[in-house]
């Protein structure tokens, strides 16, 4: 059981290099879904493993064993490691809960501030213009979805570049990219190895919106120029916004521009990367489920139910 539950804690370390390779070889929208799904699965399995370690350690103690109606001590093949693993797991879960709570509070405050700021400016359909010298533009989820752009950004772009920028932000809202970014943020708090995947998911969301904008305006060079000029104009930074709110100047802009200007040749085969992502998540799920099933069986044995 111990070995099975350690595996979900080790597999997340394989995801960051796989995620970067997947973004290079798969279409951005496909990579976004595959990487985010794998990150969420690995995060959930790692939490399940930590929870199982904690429960195993608690049921080794007489007080909690009595609460669990155990008539004999809970036995595992590696009893000497149970209590140390349980103590480490408690610490890991406590850090997760603390950092997640702080992040949620910070994100909620930033989201409310962004919605309030967007509500003050004039709106035309889904477009909100905020009077600010800072050049910024982002897709703001909610009811309804909004595209927020500052007057500083509007002054930095010409008419066609503005249309490309708006198409980019509309693609974020249409694709529900804020859900992927929120999932990436959550996974990053569940396991330290998944923090590196968070930036890859953000880049995948931006690349997917870039491609959608290029298709909408019918000009890849125009889209690349709009993104580059928006990034240069927004170097001074804008108002703080939640991590799940995508913006046109997020991520490594030179890499995004290079991808838009690259020849539209045949994409390199990336099926094997997708298979590895699915396999990584699948092995973690099977290991955690098998470990939890074994834990449940051992509890039944300790309760005497397996012999009835």
| Separation CA 2–CA 282 (nearest Å) | 18
How many CA atoms are closer than 13 Å to the CA of 79, on its beta-carbon side?
8
Three-state DSSP class for 247?
strand
Q: 191 CB contacts (<8 Å, ≥6 apart)?
A: 9, 12, 42, 43, 46
Nearest to 35 by CA among 23, 48, 47: 23
**What is the per-residue pLDDT across 142-194, written as a single tens digit (0 to 9) for each?**
888 889 998 989 999 998 999 999 999 999 999 999 999 999 999 999 999 99
**What is the per-residue pLDDT across 107-140, written as a single tens digit (0 to 9) for each?**
889 888 888 877 776 667 788 888 888 888 899 8
Q: What pTM was estimated for this model as a whole?
A: 0.87
pLDDT of 64 higher than 70? no
Tell me the DSSP string of 112-169: HHHHHHHHHS-EETTEEEE--SS--EEEE-SSS-EEEEEHHHHHHS-HHHHHHHHHHH
């Amino acid at each position: 059981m111990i070995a099975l539950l350690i595996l979900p804690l080790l597999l997340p370390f394989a995801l960051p290099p796989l995620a970067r390779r997947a973004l290079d070889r798969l279409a951005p929208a496909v990579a976004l879904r595959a990487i985010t799904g794998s990150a969420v699965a690995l995060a959930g399995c790692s939490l399940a493993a930590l929870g199982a370690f904690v429960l195993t350690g608690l049921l080794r103690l007489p007080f909690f064993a009595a609460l669990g109606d155990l008539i004999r001590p809970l036995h595992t093949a590696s009893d000497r490691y149970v209590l140390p693993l349980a103590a480490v797991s408690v610490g890991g879960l406590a850090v997760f809960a603390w950092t997640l709570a702080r992040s949620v509070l910070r994100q909620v405050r930033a989201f409310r501030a962004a919605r309030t700021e967007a509500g003050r400016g004039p709106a035309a359909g889904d477009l909100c213009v905020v009077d600010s010298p800072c050049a910024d533009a982002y897709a703001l989820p909610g009811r309804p979805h909004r595209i927020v752009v500052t007057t500083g950004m509007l002054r930095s772009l010409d008419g066609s570049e503005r249309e490309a920028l708006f198409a980019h932000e509309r693609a974020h809202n249409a694709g529900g990219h804020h859900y992927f970014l929120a999932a990436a943020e959550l996974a990053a708090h569940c396991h330290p190895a998944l923090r590196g995947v968070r930036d890859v998911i953000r880049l995948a969301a931006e690349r997917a919106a870039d491609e959608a904008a290029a298709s909408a305006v019918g000009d890849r060079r125009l889209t690349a120029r709009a993104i580059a000029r928006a990034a240069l104009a927004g170097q001074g930074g804008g108002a703080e916004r939640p991590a799940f709110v995508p913006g046109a100047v997020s991520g490594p802009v030179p890499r995004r521009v290079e991808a838009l200007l690259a020849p539209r040749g045949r994409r390199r085969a990336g099926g094997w990367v997708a298979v590895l992502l699915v396999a990584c998540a699948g092995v973690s799920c099977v290991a955690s489920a098998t470990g939890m099933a074994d834990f449940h069986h051992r509890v039944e044995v300790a309760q005497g139910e397996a012999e009835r």
